[in-house]
Amino acid sequence: MEIKWEEGHLLSVRDHAYKYLKELILQGTFKAGDRLIERDLAAKLNISRTPIREALFRLESQGYVKTVPRKGVIVTDISEQEVIEVFTILSSLEVLAVKLAAERMEPATKKLLDQKIEELKKIEAEDENDFDLQHIEMNQLINQASKSPKLFEILSGLLDFIHMSANMGYETPGRRKESLREHIEIMKALRDGEAEMAQYLMKIHIENSKKAFVLYMKNRKKKTTI
C-alpha cells in the first residue's frame, strides 16, 4: 500500500515521518546497526528528503539512531543493562499504579476494563498477533485508572522502552500469548478491586517480560558470534 502525505503541510509530514520511523525501530523492523538512508526512505514514503532529515535528527537527539563516519545514520544498539534498569523501575511504578487503580476503581473505569478484557479475549481466540496493537493502549488505560497524574506522566515517558522491550520479548515462542493472558488477569483483578492480587500479577508479568527480553538478547548475541 502506497504511503501518501501532503507535502503542503510540512510540519505534519515531518511529524508523520518521525513517528513512522520510530515505530519501525520500536517494532524491530529496523534493527541495531541497520543503515537509514535518506534517499531510500524518502522514496519509500513518497516525500522529499527534508522531512526525513528532520525526523532522523530528532531520532538522533533521542538516542534511537546515531551518525557514524563513513556509514551514515544507523540504528543505535540498545543497551541491555539500560532496558533491565527500566524493568527494575517498572516493577515499582507499575505495581503502584495497579494498587492505586484497584483502590480508586470507579464504575466508568470498570466498564472500560470490561470492554478491554473482551477485546483481548477475542484476540486470544482469533489472532494473538493483533495484541501488539493493543499493548500501549492497554497500559495507558491501567495507568490512567490509578488517578495519579504525576505517576501517569512518569510511566508515559517509559512507554517507548516498554513497547520496544515487549516486541523483542515476543520473539520468544509463546511469550506473546502468555503476555496477553497476564494482562487479562491483571485487568480482571483491577476491575474487581483486588489490589493485592493485581500487584502480585503485575510483578509476575514484569518479571516474565524481563526474562523474555534477556533471552532475546542472549539469542541475538549467539547469532552475531556464529
The C-alpha angle with vertex 99 and arms to 182 and 125, in degrees rounded to 5, equals 20
Task: Specify whether 37 is located in the same domain as 147.
Answer: no
- CB-hemisphere CA count at 13 Å for 109? 24
- For a pLDDT cut of 90, what percent of the chain falls above it? 53
The Cα-based distances of 171 to 78, 164, 165, 215 in angstroms read: 16, 12, 10, 9
What is the DSSP code (8-state) at residue 157? T
Q: Which domain holds residue 217?
A: 80-225
Q: According to the model, what pLDDT value does residue 178 have?
A: 94
Residue 3 resides in a domain = no
Name which of 111, 105, 97 is nearest 142 in CA terms. Answer: 97
DSSP string, 77-145: PPPHHHHHHHHHHHHHHHHHHHHHHHHT--HHHHHHHHHHHHHHHHHHHH-GGGHHHHHHHHHHHHHHT
Cell numbers that stand for 216 in this block: 532475546
The one-letter amino acid at 166: A
Q: What are phi and psi of 139, to 5 degrees?
A: -60, -40
Residue 55 resides in a domain = yes
Q: According to the model, what pLDDT value does residue 181 have?
A: 94
Task: Specify whether 18 is located in the same domain as 103.
Answer: no
Name which of 188, 194, 202 is nearest 97 in CA terms. Answer: 202
Q: What is the mean pLDDT of residues 162-178?
A: 86
Candidate from 120-124, 157-161, 207-211 with smallest mean pLDDT: 157-161
Task: Specify whether 64 is located in the same domain as 89.
Answer: no
Q: What's the predicted TM-score (pTM) here? A: 0.78
Task: Specify whether 89 is located in the same domain as 195.
Answer: yes
Q: According to the model, what pLDDT value does residue 221 have?
A: 74
In this structure, the number of other CB atoms found within 10 A of the CB of residue 154 comes to 14
Residue 22: which CATH number? 1.10.10.10
pLDDT in tens, 59-91: 998 888 999 998 899 998 877 888 889 899 999
Task: Specify whether 197 is located in the same domain as 146.
Answer: yes
Asked if pLDDT for residue 199 goes beyond 90, the answer is: yes
Q: According to the model, what pLDDT value does residue 36 have?
A: 95
Number of domains in the chain: 2
Task: Specify whether 154 is located in the same domain as 187.
Answer: yes
Asked if pLDDT for residue 1 goes beyond 50, the answer is: no
Cα separation, 78 vs 13, in Å, equals: 27
Task: Specify whether 170 is located in the same domain as 219.
Answer: yes
